Amino acid sequence: MEDNKEPKEEKEIKKNKEPAEEPEHIAKPKRKKKLFLYVLLGVCIAAIIATAVGLGLEIYASKSGDVYYTELSDDIERRPPPTAIPLSVPPSLSPSDEVSPPEPVVTEAPIATEAPWVPYVDFQALGERFPGIVGWIKLDGTKLDYPVMQTTDNSHYLSYLPDGTKNRSGSVFLDYRSSPDFSDRDSAIYGHESKSGEMFATLKSYRQQAFYDANPIIHFYTAEHDYDLVVFAGYLVDSGVETPQLTFKDDESFDSYIAKIKSRSFFKSDVEVSASDKLISLCTCAYDFTNARLVIVGKLVETDGTNP
């Protein structure tokens, strides 16, 4: 009769090949660690997806805002530039040509008249579309060309277009505390610094002296007047502790403020500012430090009928 029992040596080899079960006090922490890694991986993937979605939405919102303002700029009717009247130049005469003296003509002296001043844009028509419009700002040769809005707070127009559509591009807007006729000593106007170069992104170029030298004047228009905003200072503030000063107790405090912001300016300017001048402070985001804001300041000079 054959013996079916395996040799002792073979049993020992099989026994050694079988993995030994880990003690529970070792296996349990390993399972927890593996589960933690899976959870961590899932969180990282979710964070990447959320970031990508958020970035996509931001890009989409920025582009839709850019398209809106481009179409608005193309759509509005602007005051045409003054037309130059060509001078009548007589044909050249040769020495042999005989010229008869002109006969005297008696005419009545013409009455001097001036063409009536009209706003740069039709504020009345725009007011029906955008009830909060108080002005228009434009820097020639750049993308800075926008309506200026105002409402009862400083948060609404951070995320709403002039027509009331919600959009991250927001609007350029006047501080709710400022007079809509810009009669205050200093009026603050805010706008986002769009990564696409729209809104107030152009203002960061004033950090360079060469840009200021080439662009010392920003055009500003209201329903009543044309202005040159004569820029004289540009500086950074920490919005958590400092904002543009809008009111002054007297001329001395105003003069002191002018001297302070000039001393902090990125560029040098020879523009003189007197206590009777009205200022506009253009404010936008900066990324030099937490809560950094860039402020560009100019004085208003009325130029009715002379701006193109």
H or E stretch at 300: strand 292-302
Q: Is residue 27 part of a domain?
A: no
69 domain residue, yes or no: no
Count other C-beta atoms under 10 Å from residue 247's C-beta.
10
From CA 50, how far away is CA 58, in angstroms rounded?
12
Number of domains into which the chain is organized = 1
Residue 31 falls inside a structural domain: no
Q: With CA atoms as reference, report the closest residue to 298 among 276, 271, 279, 272.
A: 279
CA angle 134, 137, 142 (to 5 degrees): 160
CA distances from 215 to 61, 101, 231, 298 (A): 30, 52, 8, 12
Long-range pairs of 8-16 with CB within 8 A, sequence gap ≥ 24: none
> For residue 200, is it within any domain?
yes
Q: Name the residue range of residue 268's domain.
A: 120-302
Q: Any idea what the CATH number is for the domain that residue 208 is in? A: 2.40.260.10
Q: Is residue 240 part of a domain?
A: yes
Determine the pLDDT at residue 195: 77
The reply to whether 274 falls in a domain is yes
- pLDDT value at residue 59: 44
pLDDT at 260: 96
Angle among Cα 170, 176, 177 to the nearest 5 degrees reads 150
- Spell out the per-residue pLDDT of the chain, length 308, in tens: 555 555 555 555 555 555 556 666 666 666 666 676 667 667 667 655 554 444 444 444 445 888 999 898 888 888 776 554 444 445 554 545 555 555 655 555 555 456 677 889 999 999 999 999 999 999 999 999 999 999 999 999 999 999 999 999 999 999 999 999 999 999 999 999 987 788 999 999 999 999 999 999 999 999 999 999 999 999 999 998 888 899 999 999 999 999 999 999 999 999 999 999 999 999 999 999 999 999 999 999 999 755 44
Is this structure's pTM higher than 0.85? no
In a domain, 3, yes or no: no
Amino acid (one-letter) located at 236: L
HSE of 163, CA atoms in CB hemisphere, 13 A: 8
| Within a domain: 237 | yes
In contact, 198 and 64? CB cutoff 8 Å: no
**How far is CA 266 from each of CA 25, 171, 291, 295, rounded to the nearest angstrom?**
66, 26, 18, 10
